[in-house]
Amino acid sequence: MGLIEKCLPKTDNFFYEGFKLALVDLVFLAGSGVIAFAVFSLVDIIRRIGIPIPLPVWLVSLFLVIPYYVFSFEYGRSYGSKNNKRRLYRGFLVGIVGHLPNFILLFVMIQGEFHRYFDPQIWKIVFTMFGMLSIVAPIMVTLGAVDVKQK
């Protein structure tokens, strides 16, 4: 829990806190991207052997995507508790600045045509999940920033 608390905002400066969230986001993207592609590729290898198992989309969502949404909401909530004015606007800015690595990586994935190097089924699943993460995560930060309920 101490590591997570070190990542939470300490000031009401939206640019500084957004940049800090961007660094955390970049670490998360690198780690979760490697884990997701490794799990899906391992399942693909097992399927090629002849064992019919489904792709573990729910497993990746449960252990990687949902905790990231919770972290994004808590980050926004912590930022909103330090900011008393214009929470919606500033929370949205923190979410956008903090998730710039998502949008940049999404652009690189499309322009780089990485779909050529992976199984089309795995690529479609990972690209859809990543697109969903890129859209929903800034919204979760914004919702957390406007949440006025006490813990």
pLDDT in tens, 95-107: 999 989 888 888 8
Distance CA 20, CA 98 (A): 7
Confidence of residue 1 (pLDDT cuts 50, 70, 90): low
pLDDT, mean over the chain:
85
Residue type, 23: L
8 A C-beta contact, residue 21 and residue 101: no
Residue 101: how many CB atoms within 10 A of its CB? 19
Residue 39 contacts residue 109 (beta carbons within 8 Å): no
Task: Tell me the chain's radius of gyration from C-alpha atoms.
Answer: 17
